[in-house]
Amino acid sequence: MPSPAKARLTVEEYLVIERQALCKSEYVDGEMFAMAGASRRHNLIALNIGAELRAQLRQHPCEVYTSDMRVKISRTGLYTYPDVVVVCDAPRFEDADVDTLLNPIVLVEVLSPSTADYDRGGKFEQYRTLASLQAYLLVAQERCHVVHYTRQQDNTWLLAETDDIQDGIPIPSIHCTLLLFEVYAKVSLDQ
């Protein structure tokens, strides 16, 4: 006997559940997926990036959020929690709860073994549909390695990457440069 089909959640049902939940979940195609806790390295790197961007943007109208700011990809219906989010125009939110951002300019994901392939592939494919998005960074946590995608005027994406701890990653859309020795400050990296 076949098992009954799993009922899909509407966006409204997801948001009601998510806003009362003790843990975060992504929403994709009518399903909720609980997000696992992050490692020490992951937390250090994400906070280092958020702190560096906030310091550099202190005199600018941009806002920097950490992984508790939900982002909606309107075209695909994905609700997700990037590790670091930057918005520079007036932030636009989905509703009066002001907890689901619609117009990020920079998104950062710190790669975890369980999500790295998704962050590089399917998630980035969805992120690219955001008209506001100008930069996407993928940051390894086990070694010094950053992949940086920058949207070009013709709507293509330019890839740059580095594994040199002395390098800086320029993010022209927000006039910032992330120095890798700051990104990996106090992080024990594998040899």
The pLDDT assigned to 35 comes to: 86
Bridge partners of residue 110, in order along the sequence = 139
Give the pLDDT confidence of 63-74 residue by residue, as tens digits.
Answer: 999 999 999 999
Query: Residue ranges of the domains in the chain?
Result: 38-183
Low-confidence ranges of the chain (pLDDT < 70): 1-6, 191
What pTM was computed for the model? 0.92
The pLDDT assigned to 6 comes to: 65
Token pair recorded at residue 152: 């070009």
The pLDDT assigned to 4 comes to: 55
Class of domain 38-183: alpha beta
* Radius of gyration from C-alpha coordinates of the chain: 17
